[in-house]
Chain A
Amino acid sequence: MNKNKEQLLNKRYKAEQRFRFYGLSAIFMALLFLTIFIFKIFSTGYSAFQKTWLIVPVTFDAELMMLDQNPSKEDLQDADYYDIALKSMADLDPNANEDQENELKRMVSYFFEKEIKNELLNDPNLIGKTKEVYLTASDDLDQVFKGNYPRDLPEDQRRVSDYQLKIFDQLVANGKVESKFNISFFTNADSREAELAGIASSFMGSIFSILVCLMIAFPVAVLAAIYLEEFAPKNRFTDFIEVNINNLAAVPSIVFGLLGLGVLLAIFHLPRSTPLVGGITLSLMTLPTIIIAARASLKAVPPSIREAALAMGASRMQTTIHHTVPLSMPGTLSGTIIGLAQALGETAPLILIGMVAFVNTIPGSPMDPAASLPVQIYIWAESAERGFVEKVSACIMVLLGFLIIMNLFAQIIRHKFEKKWS
């Protein structure tokens, strides 16, 4: 009998330990996912911040460029750079036949003509001389140099030919290939060519959308929260508003995209693909988040503050505007920033209102077509070229960086400025 009891007790203790272990391993799993996730993004993305350059000697032959003696600035602008650009690439292998010359040309980006032109515009004295110029390598060679591209595939399955690899290896051996920090990733707009594509246009698109979103959502949400928390009578109608707000907070984001498409674009005829429409759509989405946060922080202001103001003869409106609202601002602001961070990461509604259009210019106002950072991630992730994979990860790193900064900022505001009542 006693032994049975002990066995039973042991069994129960074992069960206790097992249960505890399950709990711990669940947390461990969740954190493991997070780690794998972040590791994967960083390990594929960090190389995008480097860019491979080929150093190619270019002879600025006045005759080939169709330039006269003593050319003016305009002449230099209009000169023909294509021939000298082609020639300098072909000169990498003096024995190349026509096909091989073509392959040599494709070792650099199609932008190489412009790069040579800029070199001359910076220093017009180069005419007739030879100078080593940095040219952007094609995205495939860029990937080869970074070790992301398998070289042991059969040639017909590779986008880089054996011949190109041979020349490239010669250049590497001579120290004519260099890796530098990839500034153009931050200053270029989107491009079909992976080596030239950058996040400037989508970044500006995101900034404009968020600004529009802030300008609409913040005032409306704060006013609504003040009304509901301080002035609204308790009746059916305010209950209905409350149900609406709570429900809107849980409506799938894509439904807001349909709203933007069906109302803003189809009825109000606002311009498609613009951060203006994107921002309005996102503001409707973040409205409930901000209202809920603002109400919570208004509620946290102790009644004694209001009573003191009322006792001094202030009206309810004065009490609210002079005392309650300023005291609730830190909580409201941090809630707003968190809502904006959510909006910044949102993709689906923006796709529906056409912010997936290919934009290769940097937007200057909220009325210009643009993408946004998450949409840029989607666009690049859908394209087949290998060079875009690291770009996607790098873009994710930038986006996550912003989200982390915004959330930290929200935390700081909350901890630094919020008054503790106790």
Chain B
Amino acid sequence: MNLILFTFIVLLGFTSYYFGRKKAYTIQSTKKRLTALPQFYGYYLAIWCAIPAFIIFSLWAIFEPTIVKLLILSDYSNQGYLDDELNLLYEKSKALSRGQFTGEITPFIEASAEKYLSLRSIAQSSKVVIVLSAIIASVAYAYKRISSNSRTREPVEKFLNAVLFTASLAAILTTVGIVFSLIFQTIDFFKVIPLFDFVFGTHWYPAKAFVRDSSEALDPTMYSDTFGAVPIFAGTFFIAFIAMCVAIPIGLMSGIYLAEYASTKVRQYAKPLIEILAGIPTVVYGFFAALTVGPFLKELGTSMGLEVSAESALAAGGVMGIMIIPFISSLSDDVITSVPQSLRDGSYAMGATKSETIKRVIFPAALPGIVGSILLGVSRAIGETMIVVMASGLAANLTLNPLESTSTITAQIVVILIGDQAFGDPKTQAAFALGMSLFLVTLCLNIVALRVVKKYREKYE
């Protein structure tokens, strides 16, 4: 039904475009000067057609369900039902009217379902009538207003500008959406679990919170020693540290080599090849770490008499490091190439070798940019999910031994939220609280890194 109406409105839009242009041509044929190209008269009418339709459609979408619900529930208003029961009744009759209801059908529900259906059809038909008459009225009004000296280009362009502006708000809306989706669950979580226990507690066993029944769900004493996030934070930074131990030396050295030593030919082939590493999906890295690197390290450890877990932090961190190499190498390559040639020439003129120039002149000059690229790499490592989920442990151990398994923020979020979630359960809320801390940490890292890189760019541009 909505689709037919929508197509009809689009057709109306085209028709009004046609009439607007036609009227412009008629004005032109009477030898009067137009103030805009004839198309603009068409666009002008089409916009007058679209705006009322859009407004009515959105109003309807917002208010129709609430009004229908109020009308149906007004039948039950004096019978002493609780709010929850009323909601349930409403959902039941809605389901019945769609033919999806499987429970016991009482006459009450049946009557409501019929009423629901009739109300819906009244709503639908009145929507059609109101939308169409509104469109016709507004287009007719606009058509009357068009004359030789009326302005049409300016309003049309203003409208387009407004559309462009709205689109640019999408980025802000996304950020607001992220904060919004995280913050309420997080606040609810901290109502039950004290912030202090979360930040400084050293035991993380969310599975313990699962078995409790709902009557105990809001009792804070039940959750002592369950949601202490220290092992998770420690594990996250530990694995990120291992990853950076792999990524920084390899990434930085290959960035330096590509920028300073490599011939154009080598650069042309080596750079895109290294960047392939960044394009491989992380789930593939995870599979590689879990299937190849983990068992390999375990075997290697056993042959040396060490006890290595098959899901060691070393395997996950090492593979994550490989993933981050191209981020660091590309960014530091860019940074180093943008150091002015005069600095190099000055150093060579003093008799320094190439490596001495790099180490003593170029590296210090490029340092802010390199630090920025490393910070971005750290932010990647902290936010990386699939490698950790697949290759590292899921139990949160507080350990600094790279051969044991640890867990991270991202892995815990996945473990908690995989499968069905019950909102309002502290376990689910814990995942959102972890997400909030992840968001905040990466936000800080990103802002600092972006600012450092930007400052650096400005210095040499």
Give A contacts to B, CB under 8 Å: 12-13, 15-16, 18-20, 22-27, 29-31, 33-34, 37, 40-41, 44, 219-221, 223-224, 226-228, 231-232, 240-241, 243-248, 250-259, 261-263, 266, 284, 287-288, 291, 315-317, 341, 344-348, 351-352, 354, 356, 374-375, 377-378, 381-382, 389, 392-393, 396, 399-400, 403, 407
Nearest opposing residue in chain A for B164, CB measure: A227
**For residues 138 through 182 of chain B, which have their beta carbon under 8 Å from a beta carbon of chain A?**
153, 157, 160-161, 163-165, 167-172, 174-175, 177-178, 180-182
The answer to whether B283 and A345 touch across the interface, beta carbons within 8 angstroms, is yes
Q: Which residue of A13, A16, A26, A258 is within 8 Å of B254 (Cβ)?
A: A26
The answer to whether B171 and A34 touch across the interface, beta carbons within 8 angstroms, is no
Bound Cα distance from A353 to B61, whole angstroms: 25
The answer to whether B325 and A30 touch across the interface, beta carbons within 8 angstroms, is yes
Q: Flag whether B16 is at the interface (Cβ < 8 A).
A: no
Nearest opposing residue in chain A for B180, CB measure: A263
Q: Flag whether B68 is at the interface (Cβ < 8 A).
A: no
Q: Flag whether B273 is at the interface (Cβ < 8 A).
A: yes
The answer to whether B177 and A263 touch across the interface, beta carbons within 8 angstroms, is yes
Bound Cα distance from A287 to B178, whole angstroms: 14
Q: 10 A-B pairs, CB-CB below 8 angstroms?
A: A20-B355, A34-B274, A34-B277, A252-B442, A254-B435, A255-B178, A256-B178, A259-B174, A345-B283, A399-B281
Q: Which residues of B contact A354 (CB under 8 A)?
A: 420
Q: Flag whether B390 is at the interface (Cβ < 8 A).
A: yes
Q: Which residues of A contact B443 (CB under 8 A)?
A: 247, 251
Q: Which residues of B contact A247 (CB under 8 A)?
A: 175, 443, 446-447, 450
Q: Flag whether B131 is at the interface (Cβ < 8 A).
A: no
The answer to whether B171 and A224 touch across the interface, beta carbons within 8 angstroms, is yes
What is the interface residue range for chain B against chain A? Answer: 35 or more
Bound Cα distance from A244 to B450, whole angstroms: 12
Nearest opposing residue in chain A for B451, CB measure: A243
Q: Flag whether B403 is at the interface (Cβ < 8 A).
A: no
Flag the segment in B79-87, B305-313, B380-388 that touches A: B380-388
B363 → chain A closest CB, angstroms: 11
Q: Which residues of B contact A223 (CB under 8 A)?
A: 163-164, 167-168
Bound Cα distance from A413 to B17, whole angstroms: 34
Q: Which residue of A22, A44, A241, A259 is within 8 Å of B181 (Cβ)?
A: A259
Q: Flag whether B241 is at the interface (Cβ < 8 A).
A: no
Flag the segment in B119-127, B207-215, B286-294 that touches A: B286-294
The answer to whether B171 and A245 touch across the interface, beta carbons within 8 angstroms, is yes
Q: Which residues of B contact A240 (CB under 8 A)?
A: 172
With A16-B353, A31-B270 in contact, is A241–B384 under 8 Å at CB? no
Q: Which residue of B175, B359, B389, B438 is within 8 Å of A252 (Cβ)?
A: B438
Q: Flag whether B50 is at the interface (Cβ < 8 A).
A: no
Q: Flag whether B439 is at the interface (Cβ < 8 A).
A: yes
Bound Cα distance from A169 to B250, whole angstroms: 50
